[in-house]
Amino acid sequence: MVPMKPGVRRRASRPLAAYDLFADLAATPGREVIADGAMILRGFLRDEGEAILRAIDSVAARAPFRRMVTPGGFTMSAAMTNCGRAGWITDRRGYRYTDVDPESGRPWPELPALFVDVARRASAAAGFRGFVPDACLINCYEPGARLSLHQDRNERDFTAPIVSVSLGVPAIFLFGGAERSERPGRWRLEHGDVVVWGGPARLAFHGVVALAEGKHPLTGSRRFNLTLRKAL
């Protein structure tokens, strides 16, 4: 080991969210690479959908879904809530994370252990090791609700991947590049599919096309999405 000069502090090692296994795992059946650093895990959580939906209900009982307003004054069509140490919000003052729910003044509900476990397993299955989320944005789409192309960039640490879980009615997911002008690909996401992106894809623009009418035995006409992130 090289001795350090007196007064020079060794930098703390960065959290390990390595992307080194991505290429090896991409060839596994049920995995679909949609960009360098981004993959869909088909049906990964199909059998756990019901338990995840129950956990969403218990979060929403404490921090109800609401339709937030963008800084430009547009009311978003998807309803949202959060759990974890930080929750993503938007209002006339901007996009940001807060440690309390502005509607109640109370901390966001804790991240259910199931969500942490799902994030760990899904990120590892996509080749990102050591991911521990501290925030989960929960989106609820009714028919017609959509999410326009955006980057997830309010987080402090872009070395951590994003884990995005789809439940209920299928949706068309848009996934592009680091520039908004890049034409995104379109991917149908079904109940239990998980998308993981990080490394070179971490700041890719992505969005969701307006939800079509549909019926799912567990969610009726709605689609839910969990976006698990390391925000702090």
Ligand X SMILES: O=C(O)CCC(=O)C(=O)O
In the complex, the residues that contact ligand X under the rule CB under 6 A are: 137, 139, 147, 152, 164, 166, 173, 206, 208, 225, 227
Give the residue with the Cβ less far from ligand X, 21 or 146.
Answer: 146
Q: Which residue has the tokens 């079904």?
A: 190
One-letter identity of residue 126? A
CA dist., res. 202 & res. 178, Å (int)? 8
Give the residue with the Cβ less far from ligand X, 108 or 173.
Answer: 173
Please state the closest distance from residue 3 (CB atom) to ligand X, in A: 46
212 φ, ψ (degrees, to nearest 5): -80, 160
Give the residue with the Cβ less far from ligand X, 21 or 85.
Answer: 85
Please state the closest distance from residue 26 (CB atom) to ligand X, in A: 20
Please state the closest distance from residue 42 (CB atom) to ligand X, in A: 14
Give the residue with the Cβ less far from ligand X, 55 or 174.
Answer: 174
Give the residue with the Cβ less far from ligand X, 21 or 172.
Answer: 172
Note whether 38 and 204 are within 8 A (CB).
Answer: yes
Please state the closest distance from residue 124 (CB atom) to ligand X, in A: 20
Please state the closest distance from residue 9 (CB atom) to ligand X, in A: 36
CA dist., res. 17 & res. 227, Å (int)? 17
Task: Please calculate the CA angle 92-178-28 and round it to the nearest 5 degrees.
Answer: 120
DSSP helix/strand/coil, 47? helix
Task: Please calculate the CA angle 58-215-197 and round it to the nearest 5 degrees.
Answer: 65
Query: Rg for the chain (alpha carbons), in Å?
Result: 18
